Structure 1
Amino acid sequence: MADTGVPAGLALDPADRRPPYEQLKHRVLLGRADGTLPAGTRLPPVRRLAEALGLAANTVAKAYRELEAAGVIETRGRQGSFVRAADRTEDLAVQAARRYAEETAGLGLSAEQALELVSAQLRRAP
């Protein structure tokens, strides 16, 4: 599924007796817990994921709605749905990292330059 832009960890198990939307919710929770879907990961749009998994769009939408209601993912309008951190501290760090990435990109810095700058600052931090 890599060429569809769908994270491999979201594949469903046909032998699993749970409904597909429950399996999908479980896969997202598992991915967040084991690091395969770290905080800030953009999830595929509902239709694309539904097509890749052979599901109805409403099935994926239901899973996304329930994950959002549980605070596991957040939807940012047209930007898409993103995995949230398991705790508030990590969530705030992801938000800060996003702001930093946007600002350094706006300054014309490459990702490598931005990473070097933040690494240097982290080494100097108390």
Structure 2
Amino acid sequence: MNAAELIMRRWKPVTESSVPPYEQIRLRIVDLAAAGELAVGMKLPSVRALATELGVAANTVARAYRELEHAGIVVTAGRSGTVIASGGDQLTEAVATAAAEFAGVVLKCGVPSAKALAMVSAALERGATR
């Protein structure tokens, strides 16, 4: 199965969502890469091709690809296309860094671990419903 088929398998951006389409596309690719379904080195469809398949503007897909490249999830090599980067663990590293910083604040403030974890769970829930 190629990258376009994986990205679009039982999925399309939800136009009524409060989450912008470029962000939905970015999250879809991040999820697939994190799950290993989009393997390191796998070539993504061209901006224009994916935009046509998803029924969105080319600029929408281009922005998603730019955001992914900035996060180190993909690498764009000009006319050679965009591929899943081997440094995709930068996302995991960023989350681990944020978790360490959060833990430092929790310890400094003396908040019990259970309460801190409940706060994180609540924040994730709020983020998931946005």
Range into which the TM-score falls when normalised by the shorter chain: 0.5 to 0.7
TM-score when scaled to structure 2?
0.59
Question: CA contact under 8 A between 2:13 and 2:25: conserved in structure 1?
Answer: no
Q: How does 1:42-121 map to 2 (within 5 A)?
A: 42-85=43-86, 86-87=88-89
Ranges in structure 1 where 5+ consecutive residues have no aligned partner: 89-126
- For 1:61 and 1:25, how far apart are their aligned partners in 2? 10
Secondary structure at the counterpart of residue 42 of structure 1: coil
Identify the match of residue 6 of structure 2 among 8, 21, 41: 8
Ranges in structure 2 where 5+ consecutive residues have no aligned partner: 91-130
Say whether residues 1:21 and 2:22 are aligned partners: yes
- For 1:44 and 1:17, how far apart are their aligned partners in 2? 25
Q: How many percent of aligned residue pairs carry the same amino acid?
A: 43
Structure 1 residue 18, shift from structure 2 partner = 1.2
TM-score when scaled to structure 1?
0.60
Q: Provide the alpha-carbon RMSD of the alignment.
A: 2.2
- Aligned residue pairs total 86
For 1:64, give the aligned amino acid: Y
Say whether residues 1:38 and 2:36 are aligned partners: no
Secondary structure at the counterpart of residue 4 of structure 2: coil
Structure 1 residue 19, shift from structure 2 partner = 1.0
- For 1:68 and 1:61, how far apart are their aligned partners in 2? 10
Aligned to 1:100: none
Question: CA contact under 8 A between 2:13 and 2:54: conserved in structure 1?
Answer: no
Secondary structure at the counterpart of residue 74 of structure 1: strand
